[in-house]
Structure formats: C-alpha cells, structure tokens
Structure 1
Amino acid sequence: MKYVTFLLLAVIATFNLHAKDENNELEGLAQQYFSTMTATQAPKASSKELEAFLALLTDDVANQHLPYQSDDSRSPDGKAMMRKGMTFYLGAHTEYEAKLLDTFIFNNTAIAIRYTQHAKGVHPQNKQLIEYTQTLMDVLEIENGKIAVIRKYHE
C-alpha cells in the first residue's frame, strides 16, 4: 500500500511540475510577444525589430484586429502578409509608449495580455497627424510553441 501511495504521489507531482513548466514557458512567450510587438511601434523601429516579432509567429498566422479586420482565417502566407502590412507602418510614430497591465494563461494553448498604449505620429498613407491612447487585449492562440492566431480587442 505504501508503494502505491508513493507512486500515486510521484505521478501527481510530475504532472504538477510539468504544468508549472508550461505556464513559465507561456509567461515567457507573453513577455517576449509584448516586448517585441511594442518595439515594432517605436519611432525608430526597423526591420530588425519587425523580424524579432515575426519570429514568434507561425508561417500561417492569422491576425484579427476588430473592427478593422474581421477575418480570422489562417493562410499559408499569413506571416508574409503581416510583414508587408507592418512594414508600411514601420517608423510612423514619433512617440510611443506601452504598459503591460495583465497576463492570463489558459492551459497550454492560449495567452491573453492586456496593455495600454499611447502614440503620436504621421499616418504614412494620408500624412495626417495621429494621436491615440487606448487599452487593448491581445488573445494569442499557441501552437507548438509559436503564436498561430492573434486577436486584438479594444476596451
């Protein structure tokens, strides 16, 4: 009986340690996502910051930013489309700051981060001055250690 009890406790401890390791990995991924994503918004952001951010994503990543992008479909060239879209806006801000408010881990398949951001700049297409302050939540779906779906929600 002692042997069975010991074996049962060992199995439970192993699962508990494994779950903690996964949460630590996802917490690290959330921090890395936030720091690389916000780096792409900095006034002097370059392709170096953009590529560091894109390295966290699957090639077929889906990006949904409501209300601007309602489609959350994954496509084989999802990362390439994000690179093209983000390159267009790279360096558009003259001021940018962000603060991470909360991180939520959902088993080993999803992360949600809530943050505030403030930006000033010039829109690259219409050349009009822009300024905004907002609170957002990004919900990230994880697949094999990479971000497969990004959903942005405004408060």
Structure 2
Amino acid sequence: MKKLIITLMGLVFFSPTMLADNFDYDAFVKAYYEAEVKTQQPDATAEDLEHYLSFLTDDVGNQHFPNAPDDSREPDGKALMRKGMSRYLGIHSEYKAELIDYQHGYNAVAIKHKFSAKGKRSDGSDFSYSKVALDVLELENGKVSVIRRYSE
C-alpha cells in the first residue's frame, strides 16, 4: 500500500504541466525557425523538408491565409503538408528571412518574422514577394500541433 501511495504521489508531481514548465522554448523556436527557413532556400532538399516536418505532430492543423483558412487538425495533416510543400521545394532563386521576435507561453509560441523571395513559377513566369508574418504555434508534447500564419 505504501508503494502505491508513493507511486500515485509521483504521478501527481510528475505531470504534463511540469514538463511544459521545463520545456526549452528558446531552443525550440531557434531550431524550428531554422528548419522552416531551410525549406525555402534555393537548394532546399527533401531531407530539409523532412527535418522541418519532424517538428510537427502527424495530425497538425495549418491555417495560412488565403490558401488554407481552416486550422482543423486532420489525421494526415503532416502528409498533406509534405505533399504541398514538396511542390514548392527549390522553387526560389533567392530567399532571405529574419526572425524579428518571439514570445512563448504555456504550450504556445508566437514568432514574428520577415521574409522575401524571388523565383519562377511552373509556368515560367517570375515572382517576387516580401512579407512580415506572425506565426502562432500551438504545441503538444513538444511538437507543433497547429500553425496559424497571419501576414500582410
């Protein structure tokens, strides 16, 4: 009986809340952002994409206006992101990014960043853009479960 009480007390004190308190948000944000930026570089590879996807849950939800206004989590959310991002892998001839700031709280991170890109579409036409964006990430067990991107 004594062992059972000690075990139950250990479970109470070793809760997911305590794990979240010890989570290294700074290291996570830096690693996540670096992995995301690598997927946009002119020389981005399938390995770069897989490294980025390793930060996400399998059922990740992705809201990215105007193309993906729904943030619902889907069982194959990561697979859908892999398919969508693979089409654009290496399409940029130039890509620059800068992390402006980030804030974090319990199981959430907000990343403000700016980026610009140049490249060619599949139809051969040129494109160029520059944006400032705020990405709000919800975390679950140390991985991104929902991505919401707000940009100009």
Quickly name the TM-score band, shorter chain normalised. Answer: 0.7 to 0.9
Aligned length, in residue pairs: 135
Supply the distance in 1 between the matched residues of 2:26 and 2:61 (Cα, whole angstroms). 21
> Which amino acid in structure 2 is aligned with residue 29 of structure 1?
F
State the distance in 2 between where 1:31 and 1:127 align: 34
Give the TM-score, by structure 2 length.
0.84
The 5 A counterparts of 1:108-123 are 109-123=107-121
Q: Aligned partners of 2:62, 2:30: CA distance in 1, in Å?
A: 19
Name the structure 2 match of 1:3.
Answer: none
Q: What corresponds to 1:98 in structure 2?
A: 97
Q: Quote the residue 2:136 is aligned against.
A: 139
Aligned to 2:124: 127
RMSD (Å) for aligned C-alpha atoms: 1.7
The alignment-based identity, stated in percent, is: 45
Structure 2 regions of 5+ residues with no counterpart? Answer: 1-16
Residue 106 of structure 1, CA deviation: 1.6
Shift of 1:32: 1.1
Give the secondary structure class of the aligned counterpart of 2:81.
helix
Runs of 4+ residues over 4 Å off in structure 1: none
Q: Does residue 74 in structure 1 map to residue 73 in structure 2? A: yes
- Counterpart secondary structure, 1:41: coil
Describe the superposition over 1:75-115 as per-residue Cα deviations: whole angstroms up to 9, x where unpaired.
110000000000000000000010000011022x1001011
Pairwise CA distance, 1:29: 1.2
TM-score normalised per structure 1: 0.83
Q: Secondary structure at the match of 1:48?
A: helix
Instruction: State the match for 1:148 in structure 2.
Output: 145
